[in-house]
């Protein structure tokens, strides 16, 4: 382990790191040659010998693998899903913390944080592994949407309870916010006529 850790400063001397660097270089070349369509779904391996004489048949990076096989639009879509999920979970956790609830007693908060950690871990692993058809990514996407939906539903129910307790209707003045008999210009200053 110590000898392998010593290769961090010179990654080209370590076989595994050297193969990853070569695979990333080949993936970038595939993207440059086929930016819109890629080389084809699951065609990274068969296309690899045209771009490198090394043996890796995977890009060892999910974004590069998706972009090389399906084009930059697909790769960017993957990044958007990952970033939107991470940001959504982070903001949702912040909302829980700002409400000042007893955090350990709220299972939805704990689930949010667990999914955030799992998704962040998967995102980091995806920098060094090809997970484009890894089922865990899709399960986590489903869980992200479920937690965000349940949190939004809980927030709406809380707002409805607060509104019911205050007995203030949302539009106290009647239809359109104007009392019967009021003119829409009441309280507004009129401009003097132009000369």
The structure tokens 């707002």 sit at 159
Q: Residue 105 is encoded by which pair of tokens?
A: 């007693």
Q: Residue 35 is encoded by which pair of tokens?
A: 């930016």
Please state whether the predicted TM-score (pTM) of the whole model is above 0.75: no
Q: Which pairs count as long-range contacts for 136-142, CB under 8 Å and 24+ apart, including other chains?
A: 140/85, 140/115, 141/81, 141/85
The structure tokens 């008999």 sit at 181
Angle at which helix 62-70 crosses helix 15-33, to 10 degrees, equals 30
147, 115 Cβ separation under 8 angstroms = yes
**Is pLDDT above 70 for 5?**
no
pLDDT of residue 166: 77
Give the dihedral of Cα atoms 52, 55, 57, 58; nearest 10 deg.
-90
User: Which residues are CB-neighbours of 90 under 8 A, at least 6 positions away?
Assistant: 116
The structure tokens 């309280």 sit at 187
Confidence of residue 163 (pLDDT cuts 50, 70, 90): confident
pLDDT in tens, 46-96: 888 888 888 767 888 999 999 999 999 999 999 999 999 999 999 999 988
pLDDT in tens, 88-142: 999 999 988 887 765 667 889 999 999 999 999 999 999 888 888 788 999 999 9
**Alpha helix segments (H runs only) across the chain:** 2-5, 15-33, 44-47, 62-70, 72-98, 107-125, 135-166
Q: Say which DSSP state 140 is in.
A: H
Burial of 21 (0-12, 13-18, 19+ CB in 10 A): middle
More confident residue, 44 or 133: 44
Q: Residue 100 is encoded by which pair of tokens?
A: 């000042």
Q: Over the chain, what is the mean pLDDT?
A: 82
Q: Buried b vs exposed e over 6-16: b needs ≥16 C-beta within 10 Å?
A: eeeeeeeebee
pLDDT of residue 131: 80
Judged by average pLDDT, the poorest of 25-34, 63-72, 164-173, 175-184 is 175-184
d(CA 83, CA 52) in angstroms, rounded, equals 31
Average pLDDT over residues 16-29: 86
pLDDT of residue 13: 61
**Is pLDDT above 80 for 37?**
yes
């Amino acid at each position: 382990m110590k000898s392998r850790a010593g290769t961090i400063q010179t990654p080209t001397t370590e076989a595994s790191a050297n193969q990853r660097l070569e695979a990333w270089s080949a993936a970038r070349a595939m993207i440059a040659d086929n930016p819109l369509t890629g080389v084809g779904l699951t065609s990274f391996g068969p296309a690899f010998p045209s771009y490198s004489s090394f043996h890796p048949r995977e890009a060892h990076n999910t974004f590069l693998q998706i972009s090389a096989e399906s084009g930059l639009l697909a790769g960017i879509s993957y990044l958007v899903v990952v970033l939107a999920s991470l940001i959504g979970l982070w903001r949702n956790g912040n909302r829980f913390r700002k409400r000042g609830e007893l955090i350990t007693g709220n299972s939805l908060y704990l689930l949010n944080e667990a999914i955030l950690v799992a998704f962040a871990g998967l995102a980091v692993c995806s920098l060094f592994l090809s997970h484009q058809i890894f089922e865990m990514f899709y399960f986590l996407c489903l869980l992200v949407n479920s937690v965000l939906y349940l949190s939004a539903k809980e927030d709406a129910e809380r707002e409805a309870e607060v509104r019911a307790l205050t007995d203030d209707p949302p539009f106290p003045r009647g239809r359109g916010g104007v009392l019967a008999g009021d003119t829409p210009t009441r309280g507004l200053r009129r401009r003097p006529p132009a000369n």
